[in-house]
Amino acid sequence: MSNNRPGPEIADSFDLGLVHRPRRNRKSEWARRLVRENVLTTNDLIWPMFVAAGDNLRTPVASMPGVDRQSVDQIVRSAVEAAELGIPAIALFPYTDNALKDAEGSEALNPDNLVCQAARAIKKEVPDVGVIIDAALDPYTSHGHDGVIADGRILNDETVARLVRQSVIQAEAGADVIAPSDMMDGRVGAIRDGLDAAGFQDVQIMSYAAKYASAFYGPFRDAVGSGALLVGDKRTYQMDPANGDEALREVALDVEEGADMIMVKPGMPYLDVLHRVKKEFGMPTFAYQVSGEYAMIEGAARNGWLDGDKAMLESLLAFKRAGADGVLTYFAPRVARKLRGAG
């Protein structure tokens, strides 16, 4: 219903008497650059890669558009690309044939398994790229869990014993960093002792210290072929998403046990945890932008629902702002190419 009566007088402009006008510092690109608090650089990136059996093979991971499983020769090519792009380190994850999986994850202790083959090949071709390998049984177990099981329980100490052997085998193959991702108690200290005893004092430990029982790992489990096998869930060892203080206690233990670097995982839903961990411990601290986070951004971008490049860069910058020293991200090669173009 229209109303022709004049309304109250509204001035065209007010004198607000403002002293502070925060917009001044945003008035142009040079000004914004000048006051920018955080930057994302290629030095912040760790590139996770999936190794599969075969030769000259790249198989797309359906739930991670743009990400392939790669045979060892292709992994080496990607490692060369990482070196060319200036990406400091890569992280290797195996896609293990179901026929090689058993309840104990024995293939993890095979010095000739896929990640060990890949590490040796990469170190021969591009020794200056850091190679990170998980200590964890889940890509190798027939039940998809990160530990050995008895009476339906994941056994802590028995699992740790295997992780120590796995770590030494991976170090022998050339891993520069062992990344325990299993969330068993006491594994960082045991792995440190095991590495030292085997002469690997310089092999670092990047601990998945605060790893949550998250729904965002779904596509990763497709990528390593453990998703369909997983029986139950991982809530007796991975953390409850409701908890923040507990993350600080977990990190404190891993630092005490000798972790060189700390990780919070997943990333974006846990920026508060990341921030608290960095603030409390001042350790080299990393975020894992996990497969589900990647899939959300990339899936939406491919549907035209958001600007993929911008969302990618914003999500990664958010990790820096929250306190991360670096990020494990499936976007690593793409963002490195983009940063190189911008530089």
Ligand X SMILES: NCC(=O)CCC(=O)O
Is 220 a residue that touches ligand X (CB under 6 A)? yes
CB 73 within 8 A of CB 114: no
Known catalytic residue: 265?
yes
- Least distance from ligand X to the Cβ atom of residue 172, Å: 21
Which of 52, 205 has the CB closer to Mg ion?
A: 205
Helix ranges restricted to H, the chain: 29-35, 72-85, 114-125, 156-173, 187-197, 218-224, 245-256, 271-281, 291-302, 308-322, 332-342
Whole-Å CA distances, 211 to 180, 264, 299: 10, 6, 24
Known catalytic residue: 211?
yes
- Residue 283 CA to residue 323 CA, distance in Å, equals 10
Q: Which of 47, 95, 217, 319 binds ligand X (CB under 6 A)?
A: 217
- Least distance from ligand X to the Cβ atom of residue 204, Å: 16
The residues of the shown chain that bind Mg ion, judged by CB under 5 A, are: 250
Residue with tokens 């790249």: 58
- Least distance from Mg ion to the Cβ atom of residue 185, Å: 6
152 sits in the region (left: phi over 0; alpha: psi -120 to 50; else beta) called: left
Which of 38, 173 has the CB closer to ligand X?
A: 173
Q: Which of 211, 234, 278, 320 is catalytic?
A: 211
Partner from Mg ion, ligand X, none contacting 61, C-beta within 5 to 8 A by type: none
The values of phi and psi at residue 47, to 5°, are: -105, 110
Residues paired with residue 133 on neighbouring β-strands, in sequence order: 92, 178
Among 216, 203, 182, CA closest to 330: 216
CB 139 within 8 A of CB 181: no
- Least distance from ligand X to the Cβ atom of residue 219, Å: 6
- Least distance from ligand X to the Cβ atom of residue 9, Å: 59
Partner from Mg ion, ligand X, none contacting 122, C-beta within 5 to 8 A by type: none
Which residue minimizes CB distance to Mg ion?
250
Which of 81, 185 has the CB closer to Mg ion?
A: 185
Among 176, 190, 183, 169, CA closest to 213: 183
Kindly report the number of other CB atoms within 10 A of residue 171's CB atom: 22
Which of 74, 291 has the CB closer to ligand X?
A: 291
Partner from ligand X, Mg ion, none contacting 290, C-beta within 5 to 8 A by type: ligand X
- Least distance from Mg ion to the Cβ atom of residue 250, Å: 4
Q: Which of 101, 234, 265, 278 is catalytic?
A: 265
CB 139 within 8 A of CB 226: yes
Contact partners, residue 243, CB within 8 Å, separation at least 6: none
Which of 177, 239 has the CB closer to Mg ion?
A: 239
Is 290 a residue that touches ligand X (CB under 6 A)? yes
Contact partners, residue 145, CB within 8 Å, separation at least 6: 137, 138, 154, 230, 231, 232, 234
**125-184 binders of ligand X (CB under 6 A):** 134, 136, 181
Site string for ligand X, 181-200 (x = CB under 6 A): x-------------------
Which of 148, 160 has the CB closer to Mg ion?
A: 160
Is 273 a residue that touches ligand X (CB under 6 A)? no
Task: Supply the residues annotated as catalytic.
Answer: 211, 265
For ligand X, the binding residues (CB under 6 A) are 134, 136, 181, 217, 220, 290-292
